[in-house]
Amino acid sequence: MMKLASAKQVLFGAYQAALNVADPQIALPQALKKSFPNGLSGNCLVIGAGKAAASMADAFEKHAQSHWPDLQFRGVVVTRYEHDVATPLPNRKIIVRQAAHPVPDQACITASTEMLKCVQELKPEDHFIVLISGGGSSLLTLPVDGIELTDMQVLTQALLRSGAPIEQMNVVRKHLSQIQGGNLARLAVSRGVKVHAFIISDVIGDQPADIASGPCAVDPSTYLDAIHILQKYQLDESQISPKILKHLRDGVEGKISETLKKNDPEVLHIHNEVYATAMQSLHSAAKFCEAQGMQAIVLGDQISGESKEQAVVQLQQIQEFLNSKPDQAVALISGGETTVTIPSHIKGRGGRCAEFLLALLDASKDRKCFAALAADTDGIDGSENNAGAYFDDEVLGRAKELGLDSQYYLTIHDSYGFFAQVGGLVMTGPTLTNVNDFRILLMNFK
């Protein structure tokens, strides 16, 4: 590999290496070959949801057409708006619907209802394949009877502002869903079919129950857990619908069936394969950095907590390494999912990745030969149009020239505004994959 000329090139090269290994066009065909070594024939229903759903469906169609000529398939997937593939196959057989994320809209319910109807029409001899990726928790919104879309929208907004980690948000949502918490697979098995789910993980731990709120997975959480989470973040009837709280209480009292559990008989007919993960992407990025002559340290894919606090921790970690090797070029790489807690009186702009970068910049003032990038692997950081942010000597120089106060922008949670002014936003557009956050700190790259 050719030696790169700048820290910026290394940052973006490592990020691209992380994305490439999680690309459904590459990874899904390999998973399909592994799961079905003798191929498939007959009839098959394919449904899916998530930010990578369109790319996964496209990859499935291409693989089926070239390797499984005797397979008759149809299907529907739902992805986030503007997350369809750039060049759809002509006459594609898997319909791609688009809907809102992270706060659901009517299109989410319409697409989810369409999928449920398809599953209800399955026959025992059919194959059933589910394509799951991050974002499905919102996109597969289909609340139980008695709970309206507006109730779910208000709940989602409240949970997002609370700073609750995604795993806890999903515990609440799956106990309000006709599809999530294993309910989709439960319905399919009742039709006499086996369920094969192929999953890209965007959560810490890579547990299928946590990805897209686990439509095909055993769920260890309970209605009581959901209530405790709402109580933890002080979300009561003044902030969310009383109908939601009543439904959860009815579940605790046994008036409503629980989500899919490990001893349920349906589990024997369900197979979940997580075929792309954050750790795979982090190691791909590390390999890229090592080819540039750097020492790569992978902290892991389970980094959580407040973004600004993690920034300080990681700065300390890279400094501790340099205390013993002061001249060593080093890349500190991590994944996971941090959070940003925003007070109700502050609007804020920018997601958890950009806030991490801003806090890192603020804590590392006047350091030389230091550069960093933090970006969401789906290409969208929070609710803005950027994947994340980066800084190098040039970005830091522009911030100094403009007299920008990083501490002030941290206080008002406007990381987007800060990096927009200094040219430090990472703009990728939808990447059509999603393996959680990606962070890299470079020191002593020359």
Instruction: Give the three-state DSSP class for 256.
Output: coil
Given a cut of 80, whether residue 126 has pLDDT beyond it is yes
Nearest alpha-carbon partner for 203 in 215, 190, 214: 214
On whether the CB atoms of residues 115 and 94 are closer than 8 A, the answer is no
pLDDT of residue 312: 96
Given a cut of 60, whether residue 444 has pLDDT beyond it is yes
Bridge partner list, 200: 276
pLDDT band per the 50, 70, 90 thresholds, residue 367: confident
Q: Note the pLDDT tens digit of each residue in 201-242.
A: 998 889 999 999 999 999 999 999 999 999 999 999 999 999
pLDDT band per the 50, 70, 90 thresholds, residue 1: low
Share of the chain above pLDDT 90, in %: 90
* Mean pLDDT of the region 272-276: 98
**Domains recognised in the chain with CATH numbers:** 23-142+177-221+259-276 (3.40.50.10180), 279-443 (3.40.1480.10)
Radius of gyration of the chain (CA): 22
CB neighbour burial string for 2-24, b if at least 16 within 10 angstroms, e if fewer: eebeebbebbbbbbebbbbbbbb
Residues in the chain, total: 446
Q: Note the pLDDT tens digit of each residue in 160-176.
A: 988 898 899 999 999 99
* Mean pLDDT of the region 42-65: 98
The rounded distance, in Å, linking the Cα atoms of 4 and 371 is 14
Instruction: Give the three-state DSSP class for 330.
Output: strand
- Strand 370-376 relative to strand 388-391: parallel, antiparallel, unpaired? antiparallel
Given a cut of 80, whether residue 399 has pLDDT beyond it is yes
Bridge partner list, 389: 374, 425
On whether the CB atoms of residues 351 and 384 are closer than 8 A, the answer is yes
pLDDT band per the 50, 70, 90 thresholds, residue 131: very high
Mean predicted lDDT score pLDDT of the chain: 96
Within 8 A by CB and 6+ apart from 49, the residues are 77, 78, 79, 111, 112, 115, 131, 132, 133, 135, 136, 139, 140, 212, 215
pLDDT band per the 50, 70, 90 thresholds, residue 446: confident
Judged by phi (left if over 0) then psi (alpha if -120 to 50, else beta), residue 111 lies in alpha
pLDDT of residue 3: 66
